[in-house]
């Protein structure tokens, strides 16, 4: 398991930002489930999946006094609004981490630093094509209201995606709104999987869709309407996280998790 916090150069991190990250990965998995269900006969379409995460909160009363006012280290990362220690925990991906596309439509067809064999390169190329078509799929399926991009991970297990929304609200700090969607559309080049899925070409924009009745728009609304429940009495650390075994970290995360996506 790995714990993820926002970098120190990102100011004004509030509690909601951590839940936005979880909401984004939950939305991505909903898109991926439907993408994977589509059967294509003429082209190979690898399935993709997203790691699901836990939003974890450690109450101040459970932090040893010696760490309460640290300016460096794990317990120094606090939210600006509540001054609480929070982080996102997810399974650790083993293997070579690679990036397939970016927030603004840049694509990474090759990973020259990886030193891949021919068969490994072919596998990565297939997943790259699937990742690009998946981003296109999310834009069309959401009626142009959402775009999942910044796809990266190990093989077809992806993490840390970004969702641009037409209103630029929620679903991660990197949500660049309509500007992000437009820039991605300008750079996207449809591939065989896009064509096999029958995805609408983006060259002339998207046709009008009733977004209020859109399945994914409704999922997003439901996620954002949920108020996280904060348990009052969480299990204190028995020893520092860095000294725990992976099994102990998993058990601890399950006990501390406020919200599971």
**Full pLDDT tens readout for the chain, 261 residues:** 888 888 877 778 888 888 888 888 888 999 999 999 999 988 999 999 998 888 888 888 888 888 888 888 888 888 888 888 888 888 889 998 999 999 988 999 988 777 888 888 899 999 999 999 999 999 999 988 999 999 999 999 999 999 999 888 878 888 999 999 999 999 999 999 999 999 988 876 666 555 555 777 777 777 766 554 443 334 456 666 667 776 666 666 555 544 333
For residue 87, the cross-strand partners are 56
For residue 257, the cross-strand partners are 56
Domains of the chain as residue ranges with CATH: 2-260 (3.20.200.10)
| Ranges assigned E (strand) in the chain | 2-4, 49-50, 54-58, 85-90, 98-99, 146-149, 152-154, 157-159, 162-165, 257-260
Question: pTM of the entire structure?
Answer: 0.78
């Amino acid at each position: 398991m790995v714990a993820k916090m926002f970098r120190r150069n990102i100011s004004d991190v509030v509690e909601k930002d951590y839940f936005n990250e979880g909401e984004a990965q939950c939305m991505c998995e909903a898109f991926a489930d439907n993408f994977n269900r589509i059967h294509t006969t003429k082209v190979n379409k690898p399935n993709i999946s997203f790691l699901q995460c836990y939003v974890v909160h450690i109450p101040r009363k459970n932090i040893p006094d010696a760490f309460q006012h640290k300016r460096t280290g794990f317990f120094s990362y606090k939210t600006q609004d509540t001054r609480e220690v929070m982080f996102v925990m997810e399974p650790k991906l083993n293997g070579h981490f690679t990036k397939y596309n970016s927030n603004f439509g840049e694509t990474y067809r090759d990973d020259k630093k990886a030193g891949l064999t021919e068969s490994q390169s072919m596998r990565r190329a297939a997943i790259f094509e699937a990742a690009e078509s998946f981003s296109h799929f999310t834009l069309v399926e959401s009626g142009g209201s959402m775009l999942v991009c910044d796809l990266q991970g190990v093989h077809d297990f992806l993490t840390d995606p970004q969702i641009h929304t037409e209103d630029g609200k929620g679903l991660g700090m990197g949500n660049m709104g309509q500007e992000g969607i437009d820039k991605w559309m300008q750079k996207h080049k449809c591939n065989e999987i896009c064509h096999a899925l029958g995805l609408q070409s983006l060259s002339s924009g998207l046709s009008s869709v009733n977004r209020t009745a859109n399945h994914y728009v409704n999922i997003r609304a439901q996620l954002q309407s949920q108020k996280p429940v904060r348990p009052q009495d969480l299990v204190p650390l028995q020893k520092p996280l860095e000294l725990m075994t992976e099994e102990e970290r998993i058990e601890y995360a399950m006990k501390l998790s406020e919200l599971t996506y």
